[in-house]
Amino acid sequence: MPTPKSKPGQSGNPNGRPKGKSAGGMVRKAIEERREDILKVVMDAALNGDLQACKTLLDRIAPTLRPVAASVAITLNKSAGLAEQGAEVVNAALSGNVPPDVANQLISVLTHQGKLIETTELIARVEALESRQ
């Protein structure tokens, strides 16, 4: 016999899946119940020279450092257009004053700025055309 359709906003299975009965929930529960034993085994393995156990522990207490871009000082001519400012960034990278990855990020920022300016100008033009009608 088909089940009756549920109403909008009402679950067809109000009881749903019982909490902690999924495979992931069961694994979490088993780990939680034995966490002291597991930690002791991993720590003992690390102390006995198991590099994978060392890595596991270190990843938990001291996560891998993320690269941080060096601070650079570059002066762009604010009265110049975006293309000219982009050329200044490229020249700074070619001369070694700005690392290539930072120059790439700066060019990306200038590109996005150009798109913002273009969109703003387009909106103004459309609004001006619509106001004439």
More confident position, 52 or 72? 52
Tokens found for residue 110: 């200038």
Q: Is residue 3 part of a domain?
A: no
For 93-120, the pLDDT digits (tens) are 999 888 898 899 999 999 999 999 999 9
Q: Is residue 13 part of a domain?
A: no
Indicate if 92 and 128 belong to the same structural domain: yes
Indicate if 88 and 50 belong to the same structural domain: no
- pLDDT at residue 69 tops 70: no
Q: Is residue 107 part of a domain?
A: yes
Indicate if 86 and 127 belong to the same structural domain: yes
Q: Is residue 31 part of a domain?
A: yes
Q: How many domains does the chain have?
A: 2
Range of the domain at 52: 23-61
Indicate if 55 and 89 belong to the same structural domain: no
Q: Is residue 37 part of a domain?
A: yes
Q: Is residue 73 part of a domain?
A: no
Indicate if 57 and 86 belong to the same structural domain: no
Locus of tokens 């930690």: 39
Tokens found for residue 84: 């000219």
Binned at pLDDT 50, 70 and 90, residue 121 comes out as very high
How much is the pTM? 0.48
- Rounded to whole angstroms, how far apart are CA atoms 5 and 57? 51
